[in-house]
Structure formats: structure tokens, C-alpha cells
Amino acid sequence: MPVEVIVAGLPRSGTLSMCEALTQLGYHKTMHMAKLIVNPTQMAVWTEIYGKHLEKTWTSHDWRQMFNQQFPEYIAVTDAPFCDFAVEIAQAYPEAKVSFYILSYSLFFFT
């Protein structure tokens, strides 16, 4: 299933709230770091992706293939590690809506 929504917001900037809002809006399969961190296999996949990204060997085709294998039922992504690769994911899924989610720096210390 193709990615329809990419929330490019850093962790602790309200991405979990955005994930819950997307679920209420009908995007029932939204991925967030809280769902990834409990799965060691997923974390190993992302370690590999970070390495390939640094080597500049990861293509749009690779992104689509990885999403089809690792997250076949998810249609929206939020938080890390997805925000680290928002540009690449958007290039792989040009039809997806992209939301840049920014928390005011002055408010960051109070969250």
C-alpha cells in the first residue's frame, strides 16, 4: 500500500498527537516511533537504511520495496526515523501529502 501522508516532524514536537489525529481522520494505519521501538527486527532494518543512506546507495525503488516489505499496511508515517528521510520518502511517493510539523524552540523546554 503506498504512503499517503508523511509528517516530517522531529520527535517530541507533537508527532504522536499528529499520529492520533491522522488515525481519527481515517488514516488507521499510521506508523510512529513508539510502534517501531518495540520491534527489534524493525530497528535492525533502520540501522541498515541509515548505513545505506550515508553511502548514497538507497534509491526511490529501494524505499518503495522496503515499505512494501516492512510496512505493507501503513499509509502514513510520523516521527523518527521517518522524519530523517522525509525528502527521500516523498521522492519515492510523489503522490503523498507532506506535513512539516515544527514546534517552537522556546516551547521545547516546557514539553
Block residue for cell numbers 516523498: 90
**Residue-level pLDDT at 109:** 58
Nearest-10 crossing angle of helices 60-70, 40-55: 180
Count how many Cα atoms sit within 13 Å of the Cα of residue 84 in the half-sphere of its side chain.
Answer: 12
Alpha carbons 81 and 87: distance in angstroms, whole number: 12
Judged by DSSP in three states, 13 sits in: coil
- For the segment 94-101, the average pLDDT, to the nearest whole number, is 90
- The 10s digit of each residue's pLDDT in 6-21 is 999 888 888 889 999 9
Structural domain total, the chain? 1
Q: Is residue 111 part of a domain?
A: no
Range of the domain at 38: 5-102
The answer to whether position 76 is within a domain reads yes
Instruction: Give burial (CB, 10 Å; 0-12/13-18/19+) of 98.
Output: middle
* Domain contains 75: yes
In a domain, 21, yes or no: yes
User: CATH number of the domain that 65 lies in?
Assistant: 3.40.50.300
Query: Could you tell me if residue 108 is inside a domain?
Result: no
Neighbouring C-beta atoms of residue 86, cutoff 10 Å:
18
pLDDT of 96 reads 96
- What's the pTM? 0.82
Q: Is residue 110 helix, strand or coil?
A: coil
39-78 per-position pLDDT tens digit: 888 888 888 888 888 888 888 899 899 888 888 899 999 9
The answer as to whether 109 is a domain residue is: no
Domain membership of residue 107 (yes or no) is no
Residue 110 domain-assigned (yes or no): no
